Structure 1
Amino acid sequence: MTIWKQTYDVAQANAFNKNTIAEPLGLLFTEIGPDYLVGTMPVDKRTHQPMGILHGGASVVLAESLGSFAAHMATNENMACVGLDINANHIRSVRSGLVTGIARPVHIGRRTHVWEIHITDEADKLVCLSRLTMAVIDTI
């Protein structure tokens, strides 16, 4: 059984990233499951910090992009989701390749959502663990 109230395929979901911070970073949504959203981001000069490793802020962009779009899909069409809080624990560094994030709900309420996002490297080792709290508001 799905948690989504609005359904998109991967191509439609990726269209939401056009002209946003996600586009120049190469962030892509890759899978929409019944209760999760998966996306990837390259680790290269676009996402490096000066020491040549994945920038923590880039990990947060991936986490918030996944959690925000997942929250959007889990709400009614007449509602919007906006970020209230995000935290990130950076566990392991990555120098190159692709990181993959998966967003899953912790809480889906009428006015708030909490999403947990696990970001892993190509060896499926945890790179970053993030929690995103979203406010669900009426659209204007």
Structure 2
Amino acid sequence: MTKEEMLQLSKKVCKNTLMETLEIEFTEIGEDFLIAKMPVNSRVHQPDGVLHGGASVALAESVGSMASYVFLDTDKFFVRGIEISANHVKSISEGFVYAKATFIHKGRTTQLFEIRITDEQEKLISVVKLTTIALPKEK
């Protein structure tokens, strides 16, 4: 899938979803990774004005699930996240965060990702591990 095809697909599948609400934008695709960005503003802040950990996890699950979606045959399968864990190591209050989902395991049924969330200076904000599952579509 080309970058342009991935961007068109992501715009189509993200319409009227949490990804659209959080303004998550998919920006780059490679052989084994996908990158998305999300603005950090009051919409994703916790009460003290920094990025909410839940928004970081939503970004991570969005980019990991989309990576599974892009790299699998979605005519035959749909993707669901089945486990996620996050470690938040630095706070941020404005700008953008970038999530890069990289395959650790690319199986037929389960996929395992490491998702590194960084700021605009590439400083680490969170490290997330996500497991997705490919479930067969009923005919």
Fold conserved (TM > 0.5)? yes
Confirm whether residue 17 of structure 1 aligns to residue 14 of structure 2: yes
> For residues 58 and 95 of structure 1, what CA distance do their matches in structure 2 show?
12
> Unmatched 5+ residue regions in structure 2?
none
- Determine if contact 2:65/2:132 at 8 Å carries over to the other structure: yes
> For residues 49 and 106 of structure 1, what CA distance do their matches in structure 2 show?
31
Matched with 1:60 is: 57
Matched position secondary structure for 2:100: strand
Deviation at 1:103, TM superposition (A): 0.5
Deviation at 1:68, TM superposition (A): 0.2
> Unmatched 5+ residue regions in structure 1?
none
> For residues 47 and 116 of structure 1, what CA distance do their matches in structure 2 show?
22
Task: Supply the AA of the counterpart residue of 1:79.
Answer: F
Aligned residues: 135
User: Equivalent of 1:70, from 46, 60, 67?
Assistant: 67
Off by >2 Å, runs of 4+ in structure 1: none
- Determine if contact 1:102/1:119 at 8 Å carries over to the other structure: yes
Task: Supply the AA of the counterpart residue of 2:42.
Answer: K
> For residues 18 and 43 of structure 1, what CA distance do their matches in structure 2 show?
20
- Determine if contact 1:41/1:100 at 8 Å carries over to the other structure: yes
Please report the TM-score for the alignment, with normalisation by the length of structure 1: 0.91
* Cα-Cα RMSD: 1.4
- Determine if contact 2:88/2:126 at 8 Å carries over to the other structure: yes
**Percent identical:** 42
Please report the TM-score for the alignment, with normalisation by the length of structure 2: 0.92
Deviation at 1:81, TM superposition (A): 1.2
Deviation at 1:135, TM superposition (A): 1.2
Higher helix share: 2
Matched position secondary structure for 1:49: coil
- Determine if contact 2:6/2:70 at 8 Å carries over to the other structure: no
Deviation at 1:31, TM superposition (A): 1.1
- Determine if contact 2:90/2:125 at 8 Å carries over to the other structure: yes
User: Equivalent of 2:102, from 88, 96, 104?
Assistant: 104
